[in-house]
Structure 1
């Protein structure tokens, strides 16, 4: 990036307390440990830490300027910019920076699968375009603005993940990213503790279209019941992907091998055979989103399909490891009911030994928590899991759900990861396949690390 301090002051409506307005800013950071020469430091006031205390250290490390919401006067050679709120100022600066680029921006949101879909959309587009994409999970009120500053003149398209957990957040993100196109993967019950109903979740997700223009297109998963209810909705151009026969971009003849999935991809006027190097129907849906966007943005379909063969799961997202005769499916990054069901489907595609599901608490489900955990247990028992090991108090309801299907179903409930690790080591034998999944706060990656 490249902006002058004076341009940044104007963008955020701030006041330059001191320093040269012609100073060039070449990067923006909210992390005092990641400062380069020419960085603008944005100190965020968090629940535990007020980053204003790190301003001096960032200047010593090479920062050229800082925002502040806690100083009204300053005498320094560095640029200090007074704002009312540093987080909001960051968003405003990012929104102004984004407007410098006249390339297609694609926003990705949904209750489950945002990151994987973002990766597949970016891969498909990279068949013929230089693509900037969100790195990691920088999809929040702070992460998304920081992502904007990674866009450069060399890029021909941008794919940005947009996450929200409360009212008003998606609208603010839409003002920052101003996506020309948007993908909604599904509407589940993640964050329903704050948003109360799935209809509220749907309404909030659709704010991703707040900055749409006349040529914008919303890509929706036709297999999601709530999204499918938007068929015929006036005012927005919608392109559908999924397995339903009425979808514009759809998959048929889906079949899986040991570590890959094949399907026939149909779109208006053509069909193609596609191979993905991962398992799971949900990954077919994610790939369909990528192919739909690629087709719309003019990427040759053969090149987009070829790029999807390069997809590799990100860390802790259905990564498959083979160790000492045991297969470990590491899906420990996070969990929701729909995500667990998708992972259980992947687990049940293995037939070498016992299929063991290690399932920890799902958080932020509010009044839906008990029923959601119970339903996951019912699903796992009916789908073909041989043994369930639960971790945490909430997850005990998963065992209850499994026992409602079969009172003799093999379930073990553990209080924490340490107990779960010990129990697993008792149970595991050669050929077994273990799925590990739970909400991020449950740190189920500790279980995976122990097994590996």
Structure 2
């Protein structure tokens, strides 16, 4: 079946799903292959729950006229999303980077929603499946699309740009994450700047951090049209931290209008995410008042620079993910908080390949240099290195949780951070 025919079905459907467990009546089901499953096996279940059709790529699972056989379900899903993007005819902002892309995306969405109908990627649906699903879930009255793009190998951002065709692009920063997949920092730079390459070829606009030498150099070498954070609409923008001993307070200054806002984030490093969000929003037509109000109201969720009061402790929850740069930044930010009783709980950083030993050792040395004495570490890499530092170690987060129930922490500021696969949030209920 041709993409145009699939699109006709899509326009008369309730949307698209790749999960037979959560599919809603009237949605199209795409039978995607996973690492440990064949999605075609769930086509009949999806149809039984009311799916309007099931797109399959294995003829063994054809049942009736509601099953649509294609060569490759993933390619068809991406083609359908690309076709829908053409039909939407609205501006699209693409955001990538090593750290801060989800927070920046959420902040821009919060600001721009005050003046436009915005649709943005949910959570971190930012890969070869998530980006098509985000585009396909865009309502017909959308006025601005904000799409997050992630990558763990070269070529992924290029593919996502081909599907999403961004008009504007933003790289938050470039650091050392997914080294196992990329192989080197130089390859990470090449992968992230595939967004800049696309914008150059399509005559799109890159909005960039002109205080970041690496990004400034890449902009100069790559992009035809670029807008700096420092003057997104031709007028100087200043965003600077005022206080960060608990939650972050920042000062905004633009066109002689000053705002001081108390945010829900911890750590002065989030100033750069806020600066990015304000700059992009001003460029796209929002006012400094829109930005200040939206950012002050925004409450971080999903364990991203989130402050949580439990009644026993104040948790600084940053456990959604971790890499050497974000781990270092979170620890340094936590060290600047104003509590005399600090506890740091860290989980292993995953996907670092041959750099894992050195990067975890660097984190332990940082903790030691900052004089943070009460440290708990989770995971085999930290466990293998922590002996000489005298830190408490645990095989996994479940064992950490059980320990905290027996020896509770009370009246402290507690930083919790680790890679997603370490499931560090399990410790929260014991804190």
Flag whether TM exceeds 0.5 (same fold): yes
**Structure (1 or 2) with the greater helix fraction:** 2
TM-superposed CA distance for 1:73, in Å, is 9.9
**What are the residue-to-residue correspondences of 1:355-366 with 2, within 5 Å?**
355-366=342-353
Kept in 2: contact 1:174–1:211 (CA 8 A): yes
Aligned to 1:232: 220
Kept in 2: contact 1:334–1:440 (CA 8 A): yes
Say which is worse superposed, 423-432 or 53-62, in terms of deviation: 423-432
Aligned to 2:427: 447
1:141-170 per-residue CA deviation (whole Å, 9 max, x = no partner) reads: 111101111212222111111111112211
Kept in 2: contact 1:202–1:226 (CA 8 A): no
TM-superposed CA distance for 1:436, in Å, is 1.2
- The DSSP-based 3-state class of the residue aligned with 1:309 is helix
In 2, distance between residues paired with 1:8 and 1:125? 32
Kept in 2: contact 1:36–1:62 (CA 8 A): yes
Kept in 1: contact 2:43–2:61 (CA 8 A): no
Q: How many residues in Structure 1 have an aligned counterpart in Structure 2?
A: 426
Q: CA RMSD in A?
A: 2.8
- The DSSP-based 3-state class of the residue aligned with 2:391 is strand
TM-superposed CA distance for 1:229, in Å, is 3.1
1:356-387 per-residue CA deviation (whole Å, 9 max, x = no partner) reads: 11111111001111111112222233345332
1:29-70 per-residue CA deviation (whole Å, 9 max, x = no partner) reads: 101122233321100111211111111121221112222211
User: Is it true that 1:48 corresponds to 2:36 in the alignment?
Assistant: yes
CA change 1:354–1:75 in 2 (3 A) is: closer
Aligned to 1:273: 259
TM-superposed CA distance for 1:219, in Å, is 2.2
- The DSSP-based 3-state class of the residue aligned with 1:320 is strand
Aligned to 1:295: 282
Kept in 2: contact 1:261–1:280 (CA 8 A): no
Aligned to 1:412: 392
Match among 435, 442, 446 for residue 415 of structure 2: 435
**Taking structure 1 as the reference length, what is the TM-score of the superposition?**
0.86
**What are the residue-to-residue correspondences of 1:113-124 with 2, within 5 Å?**
113-124=100-111
Residue ranges of structure 1 left out of the alignment (5+ in a row): 12-19, 404-408
Q: Which runs of 4+ in 1 moved over 6 A?
A: 20-23
- The DSSP-based 3-state class of the residue aligned with 1:239 is strand
**What are the residue-to-residue correspondences of 1:12-23 with 2, within 5 Å?**
none
CA change 1:398–1:155 in 2 (3 A) is: farther
Aligned to 2:47: 59
CA change 1:398–1:328 in 2 (3 A) is: farther
In 1, distance between residues paired with 2:404 and 2:385? 17
**What are the residue-to-residue correspondences of 1:65-214 with 2, within 5 Å?**
65-71=53-59, 76-78=64-66, 80-212=67-199
**Taking structure 2 as the reference length, what is the TM-score of the superposition?**
0.89
TM-superposed CA distance for 1:201, in Å, is 0.8
